Amino acid sequence: MKRAIVLAGLVGAAMSSTAIADCTTQANKVTGSAINTLLNDKLLCGRIATGYTPGNKNQQWQQIHASIGSGNGTGTLTDYKEGPNDKIDPTKVVGTWSKNGNVVTYFYNAFTPTATIEIDGIFRNANGTYSFCYGTREWAVAFIINNGGAGCQGNFP
């Protein structure tokens, strides 16, 4: 009996995480200057999604997107880590983010090797999160909040 309940719970969890991801409903897609409004000077509290196979599914991050204004452009991408005053793991610039039309590109150059990730769709989900997608695959899921200088405070999707 316990085995059936655990199995049902796992199936339910898998189905619910799949149901949240939406990389196809055009009515939920964030486009044009709405991308700027969504990301400029905001803190992204994110984690790897099921569609991004190379990633560690437990990985979470807090990334501050510097403003690029209202059009296309490039801004710094800062990992909040434990905060700017932390002596062990302080806030650090890890790369850049750019927008060109409806495509957002992340370039991480604080690591070796460097990495470039292209997102061709950001979709609003019913639960208040956003799916960052390439094609129909969800690569990341995140809450996006105002950057009040306190990080995500443990709040991740």
83-125 confidence digits (pLDDT tens) = 999 999 999 999 999 999 999 999 999 988 999 999 999 999 9
* Residue 21 placed within a domain: yes
b/e per residue 117-141 (b: at least 16 CB within 10 A): bebebbbbbeeebbbbbbeeebbbb
The number of folded domains in the chain is 1
| Structural domain boundaries enclosing 83 | 2-146
**Mean pLDDT value of segment 139-152:** 94
Q: Is residue 71 part of a domain?
A: yes
- The structure's pTM equals 0.83
Q: Quick check: is 156 in a domain?
A: no
